[in-house]
Structure 1
Amino acid sequence: MIPFCSLCGNLLFVQEGLHGRIQLVCNICPVFQNITKTVSSRTYYKLKEIDDVLGGEEAWKNVDSTEITCPKCSHNKAYFMQLQIRSADEPMTTFYRCCNHQCSYNWRD
């Protein structure tokens, strides 16, 4: 939770106050609050799978294949597609999916 000043609405900053106490103070108003307990929390976000980013199974339906070796099963063909995932002045990223249906490994170049 980010604390805000009750008078002006600005962000409160952490400073050392009288007798070494740590306080939340407003830089504009004469408002201060003593910090009495430590509050912390962590949120762990789940990373998206590569298929979710690329559009799922539908995105791979009408793509071309090329001769490249799969790093997982050593099959010699893979489907590929190119997407612009960075800014426009960066090159496109090529994504591959192994043509071996038992493998179907995804990687990028």
Structure 2
Amino acid sequence: MLLFCPTCGNVLIVEEGQKCMRFACNTCPYVHNITRKVNSRKYPKLKEVDDVLGGAAAWENVDSTPTCPKCGHLRAYFMQIQTRSADEPRLSTNAAVLRVDTDGET
């Protein structure tokens, strides 16, 4: 936990005083005696994770084959993505379907 000096704005350090521990400023004469246990917890707000490949909508109109040539699963989808500048080659991304829905769609 960081505390800041109300006088000059610098970070207070913890040092041993005559009777108790205290917060003291290295720059100015500000001192604050610690009379009870001090603790504080802050939980940062986590960012939501974006789908790197664009989510399910990005895979709707891509090329596909009846079976995956690598693993033999029911269907394989192929998409090329431009990940860097235009003078570098595209990245080929593959996805194999692991199951079939009850209505026959993959």
TM-score, normalization by structure 2: 0.50
Kindly state the Cα deviation for residue 83 of structure 1 after the two structures are TM-superposed: 7.9
User: Is the partner of 1:23 in helix, strand or coil?
Assistant: strand
Structure 2 gap segments, 5+ residues each:
84-90, 102-106
- Kindly provide the CA deviation profile for residues 58-90 of structure 1, in whole angstroms up to 9, marking residues without a partner as x: 343455567443xxxx72735466686xxxxxx
Q: Does 2:31 align with 1:32?
A: yes
| Matched length | 88
The residue number in structure 1 matching 2:8 is: 8
Consecutive aligned runs of 4 or more in structure 1 exceeding 6 Å deviation? none
Aligned partners of 2:17, 2:70: CA distance in 1, in Å?
A: 65
CA RMSD of aligned residues (A): 3.8
Contact preservation (8 Å) 1:63, 1:81: no
**Identical amino acids, percent of aligned pairs:** 32
Residue identity opposite 1:41 in structure 2: R
Structure 1 gap segments, 5+ residues each:
85-92, 104-109
User: Is the partner of 1:7 in helix, strand or coil?
Assistant: coil
Q: 1:22-61, aligned counterparts within 5 Å?
A: 22-35=21-34, 36-43=36-43, 48=48, 52-54=50-52, 55-61=54-60
Aligned partners of 2:23, 2:47: CA distance in 1, in Å?
A: 35
